[in-house]
Structure 1
Amino acid sequence: MFPPIPNLGEPRPDTCRTCAVVGNSVNLKGSGYGSLIDHHNIIIRMNAGPTKGYEEDVGTKTTHHVMYPESAVDLDNSTHLVVFAFKIQDLEWPIKALTTGFYATSYRKVTPKIKANKDLVMVLNPAFMKYVHEVWLKRRGTYPSTGFMALVLALHICDEVDVFGFGADSNGNWSHYFEVLKNKKYGSGIHSGTNEYTVLKQLANEKTIKLYKGS
């Protein structure tokens, strides 16, 4: 149903393929990064992070959207749906969600059907998550966050990688720009947020990526 090899466009000597990896951190609020983010060739967003109503800070364009059955949203016809598969449902869901409907249960409610271009679907081998967890994070955390996985993917397919919307707020809370924080001690859950952000800062210090820390 899906193309066996996604067409990402071959890099050419006369062009530089720039990527923006846009996380969902609250530090995007008031950042004014919107136009800067939209200037990139490839813009990767994840899960339920919206753009409508937040355009000034997060931009409007999306070329690749990473999500799971539990965080599914509708996509426009030009956006790649990216799934970092790591459980059986993640392999079943894209096909059923775009055809007959996905009616299995999970740890939270799953939207049975979504809108997306079936010719722009990428399902990554579960070995990719294992590689990120073992090589990049030294097995810290239960498994990598979606944002960190998106960062490593970008490093594999892009010439220049800029990172937005990662990390905790000034009070150490790992909240989202589109939510009102009720729990004042909101952590990064099963993910090793602190270790992931340490890797981000190291990559930035080495000038492998450019890290925009937000407001």
Structure 2
Amino acid sequence: MNSKGKALIVLLCLTTICVSWRGYMSFSLPQDERPCACERCLSEDDPWFMKHFNKSVEPFLSANYNISEDVFNWWKCLQREKGNFRTFRETVDRLFLTVPPSPEVLESSPDRCRTCAVVGNSGNLMKSHYGPLIDFHDVIIRMNAGHTEGYEADVGTRTTHRVMYPESSVDLDNTTHLVLAPFKILDLEWLTKALTTGFKGRSYAPVKSKIKSNMDLVMVLNPAFMRYVHDTWLEKKGSYPSTGFLALVLALHMCDEVSVFGYGADSDGNWSHYWEKLRNKKLKTGGHSGNTEYRMIQELNERQKLKFYTGF
């Protein structure tokens, strides 16, 4: 091959490389301009996702954050709260004399990839062998009374955050964040007293008088965040979101990569807990729209905004 032919081949190769590189650069931001160090970041452009995901909504209450009376009026209807807005604010003020005035949250950064595992309580976790995969994540969110002891192979051993309310509360170790999902003023009062002098009140179900938890790691979900999940993510289906779905959307706000385990019915179509033998096979999801929540999780999985491990 003569020199002109070789030069032409080299020129064609360089042109191909340049065109390919320009195409790559048009779809991939430089690392220092990306919001995280993951292979994919949740906040990367997707009109459908950005229509639902509102980064400006504060997931947690803090001493310096005041919800609006409009939000309070929505929230007070969840469990027929009779107290007024002033009582709510006074109760919140007392709570933040006991727990940290602002939550401890790992912020996003171009040089880190924050991974979350959200572990539900579905019976479909049985024999899944997801335990090691769950424990591999940075943040591991469980909810209510979800067990680990005796189920380690399927659900893992670690818990960094546990979302619960008084009627579903359990004692925690010194390294786990207690994330309260408050549905009434009584829940806020319970948290203050259960961490200190002991709670003596009554609710619709028995509640623990005292709870073991590291007070420095306590966090409280924001009623405005709860409303946002209900209105935007669930399109106002159901009376209010389940604790599990609140935890899932919370993970989308706390992490760059989210994996979801233990949601939905088991392989027989029953809504059951993996640590219990189901007695009532007609059990439904109460005031929550279980089907709507499940379809939203499937949609997020299909759009690669999270990874959904079904368990069967």
TM-score of the pair, normalised by structure 2: 0.67
Deviation at 1:126, TM superposition (A): 1.3
Superposed, which structure 2 residues align to 1:184-195 within 5 Å?
Answer: 184-195=281-292
CA distance in structure 2 between the partners assigned to 1:191 and 1:119 by the alignment: 31
Alignment-mate amino acid for residue 239 of structure 2: T
Whether the aligned pair in 1 keeps the contact of 2:165 and 2:187 (CA below 8 Å) is: yes
> Which residue in 2 is equivalent to 1:104?
201
* Correspondence 1:138 to 2:235: yes
Aligned to 1:2: 99
Residue matched to 1:173: 270
> Following superposition, which runs of at least 4 residues in structure 1 exceed 6 angstroms of deviation?
none
Which letter does structure 2 place at the counterpart of 1:162?
Answer: S
Aligned counterpart, 1:13: 110
Q: Which residue of 1 aligns with 2:149?
A: 52
Q: Give yes or no for contact 2:106–2:254 (8 Å, CA) kept in 1.
A: no
AA partner of residue 97 (structure 1): A
Higher helix fraction (1 or 2): 2
Residue from 281, 295, 299 that aligns with 1:198: 295
SS at match of 1:45: strand
- Structure 1-normalised TM-score? 0.97
Report Cα offsets for 1:19-73 as digits up to 9, x if no partner. 0000000000010000000000000000011100100000000000011100111
Read off the aligned partner of 1:175 and give its amino acid letter.
S
Output one character per residue of 1:110-144: Cα deviation in whole Å (capped at 9) or x when no partner.
01101000000001221211111111111111110
More strand by share: 1
- Which letter maps to 1:41? D
The answer to whether the 8 Å contact 1:86/1:129 transfers is no
Does structure 1 conserve the Cα–Cα contact (< 8 Å) formed by 2:199 and 2:210?
yes
Equivalent residue, structure 2, for 1:65: 162
128-137 or 6-15, larger mean C-alpha shift:
6-15
Task: Give how far 1:205 is off.
Answer: 0.3
Identity level (%): 66
Deviation at 1:180, TM superposition (A): 0.3
CA drift of 1:105 comes to 1.1
Q: Distance in 2 between matches of 1:71 and 1:198?
A: 25
- Structure with the greater alpha carbon radius of gyration: 2
Give 1:77's aligned amino acid: N
The count of corresponding residues between Structure 1 and Structure 2 is 215
* 1:113 paired to 2:205: no
Which segments of 5 or more consecutive residues in structure 1 lack a partner in the other structure? none
Aligned: 1:91 with 2:196: no
Q: Which residue of structure 2 aligns with residue 32 of structure 1?
A: 129
Partner of 2:128: helix, strand, or coil?
coil
Q: CA separation in 2, counterparts of 1:173 and 1:142?
A: 21
Displacement of 1:175 = 0.6
Conserved 8 A contact 2:144-2:169: yes
Cα RMSD, aligned residues only = 1.0
Q: Residues 77-104 of structure 1: CA distance to partner in whole angstroms, max 9, x if unpaired?
A: 1110001222111211211111011121
Question: Is the partner of 1:161 in helix, strand or coil?
Answer: strand
Flag structure 2 segments of 5+ consecutive residues without an equivalent.
1-97
Letter paired with 2:290: G
**Maintained 8 Å contact 1:165/1:214:** yes
